[in-house]
Chains A and B, each alone.
Chain A
Amino acid sequence: MKRLRIRGMLPADGAPGVDTVAAEVDGAPGDVVDGQRRNRRRVHRLRVLTVLPAVVVTLLAVLGPALAPHAAETPIGIPFGDAGTDAWFGTDRLGRDVLSQLLYGGWGLLLLAAVIALAVTALSCVLGAVAALRPRIGTLIERATDFAMLLPAVLGILLVLTSWPDAGAYGLLVVALLFGTPYCARVFAAAAAGVAASGYVEAAQASGETLPHLVFREVIPNLREVITAQLGLRFVAAVYLVSTASFLQLPTTLGASNWAVMVRENSSGMLLNPWAVLAPSLAIAVVAVSVNLAVTAFGRGESR
């Protein structure tokens, strides 16, 4: 795999390099090389398979409101009714169709997670590239990471959304940005350091190009692999944050019925109709796991 650690990026007395290792953890472990080339084509096909479940669930979530057989909020039977031909997954605690709830309750969650992932990756990418060119910013990122380590993201979101309930989804976005960016920027900074030391960047620097030119034209285009991997990982992290915040009933303006809320509210009837809890749990798990597996699989493909 590509070594992301560049000496000199981390201060000699700095914190133990969790994120340097994290960068390796995020990418593919350099595993058995023997016979890998032989399996190249098979691995390539398998890589596409890892992301497929996430794509299917996302498509269903996006098209869901149009596909749902019943309205989201109208009861169609008794609470926690059994699965039948009318309701494939039975009914929830208010007698609403679980399948329809499932189809309605995904897109908001996934959209917010995707926006957070995009925002964190974009900001970190720029910050990381700047840090590679201007070491002082790199030190700043190190400090910010040390700081973010002291406060678990879930507690941070709890703090902000309790003291400012009206912030809603924007508050969640801002907190996720504050907590996700330092770690992510550190990975980018480590990757960009190698690019920044290359001949063409030095040549561009010597010919007096401006910092924005160096960042956007010279460094970032060479970070495509890291961007893809980080986008995937940030999405998994964002799904965790958004669904956990929603599960804790924080005011996230995600609507009354999304997958996380379904899990919480239907857990009282788990014995009567397990599908009401199992289906949304699996939906979240499938998206997160599939994206995470895809990041690992694609990372492996790029390791040569």
Chain B
Amino acid sequence: MIPFARLLVRRIALLIALLATVFVVVDLLPGSTARAVLGRDATPERVAAKERELGLDRPLPERFWSWISGVLTGDFGSTARGRSINELLADKFPPTLLLGGLALVVTVVVSLVLGAWWAARQSLAPGVGVGPGAVTAGVVPARRGADTLRRSTAVIRQSTVRILQPATTVAAAIPEFVVATLLILVFALAAGWLPAVTITDRSGFPASPDMLILPVLALAIPQIGWNTRVVRAALVDAAQAPHVESTVLDGISARTVLVRHVLPFALPTIVASFATTVGMVLGGSLVVETIFNYPGLGAVLAGSVADRDVSVVASVVALSGAVIMCVLAVADGIRAWSLRGHG
């Protein structure tokens, strides 16, 4: 428990460091919010007045303290145009949470299934007790010309790898907006099965569930590509532990070995990878929301770029940093739990 507590303290310290960095970037980089709001040809007096109104004339430590204490208590202040950021987030964050959450769930489920399937075909298939690492490392000589049964499993394993390896590589490489465009072209325009544009109902959410399918896919596909590879690598890595070999030699079924004896040891790495995926999904939803005209945070952020309104961007960065930190803390917790009594 003690190492876990230390890790947690370190994560929180890093989050505060992130908030400080955000503040420094927003405040110290050239480019004045007041001037951005008023336009290029504002008089110096008007800029000064606006700065006083926004509280930009106070000393730096005071401003930092008021910003960071606001963020930590859940008060993000107001935009340069005077609208409350809390209101804005309360309005726009739930739809993004729905989109991102669904994409995350799809990513987690699909990449766990695909990764486990891939790893099992590769290192836990009957008759192959040790992982491929041992073979390449020269621990076990690669025997060729074995019996036909082994050869036929090898063919299955090979074809799985042949499909999954390039497929995950392709999926992981393509930017979300390209995936989204291709999905729209195929499923919305050519086939006509799914809508390409999101229409909102009165509550601010998409009017029908099928409008969510393409955005979720566009967000999830690149992440599935990456995470499947991480899951596979983590499982294959964990499968090389001596106790796994002994369970295989005991004749326990491959599925039981995988779920009961391999997964717990691979879990910390896998959860940490999903934690980074949270960040990637948040960044990607910006793009995907723009393409599908989805009513969420992405639209607000895209607008704040045009307005040069940093305060909204800073709040969203702070918020997503906090969310990611929580997921990472969960990953740490899982790690501490799976290593209980071993570390």
Contacts and interface: CB of A to CB of B under 8 A. Distances in A.
Interface string B144-162: 1000000100100110010
Given A33-B132, A284-B174, 5 more contacts: A12-B343, A15-B331, A156-B317, A249-B302, A267-B291
Nearest to B298: A248
Contact of A296 (B165, B226, B287): B165
A21 B269 contact: yes
A3 B178 CA distance: 34
A274 B189 contact: yes
B172 interface: yes
Contacts of B211: none
A263 B181 contact: yes
Interface string A77-100: 000000000000000000000000
Interface stretch (A129-137, A145-153, A196-204, A220-228): A145-153
Contacts of A281: 178, 181-182
Contact of A18 (B15, B165, B166, B269): B269
A68 interface: no
Nearest to B232: A29
Contacts of A154: 283-284, 286-287
Contacts of A248: 286-287, 290, 302, 305
Given A248-B286, A249-B305, A33 B233 contact: no
A277 interface: yes
A264 B181 CA distance: 9
Interface stretch (B23-31, B63-71, B252-260): B23-31
A150 B305 contact: no
Contacts of A264: 177, 290
Contacts of A284: 174-175, 178
Contact of A147 (B18, B178, B233, B275): B18
A253 interface: no
A29 B236 contact: yes
A165 to B, nearest CB: 6
Interface string A231-263: 000001001100110011110000000001001
29 contacts: A13-B7, A16-B268, A16-B269, A21-B234, A30-B133, A31-B132, A31-B158, A31-B161, A31-B165, A33-B135, A35-B154, A143-B14, A152-B283, A153-B283, A154-B283, A154-B284, A155-B282, A159-B314, A163-B25, A163-B26, A163-B313, A164-B31, A165-B31, A248-B290, A292-B172, A293-B166, A293-B169, A296-B166, A304-B136
A296 B314 CA distance: 37
B230 A22 contact: yes
B305 A155 contact: no
Interface in B240-271: 268-269, 271
Given A155-B320, A274-B185, A3 B137 contact: yes
B97 interface: no
Contacts, number: 236
B335 A16 contact: yes
Contact of A165 (B158, B308, B332): B308
Contacts of B233: 21, 24-25, 29
A17 B177 contact: no
**Chain A: interface size category:** 35 or more
Given A18-B230, A248-B290, A289-B173, A29 B161 contact: yes
Contacts of B10: 146
A155 B317 contact: yes
A72 interface: no
B170 A289 contact: yes
Interface stretch (B41-49, B50-58, B87-95, B321-329): B321-329
Contacts of B110: none
Contacts of B31: 163-166
A32 B161 contact: yes
A285 B343 contact: no
Interface in B215-240: 226, 229-230, 232-234, 236-237
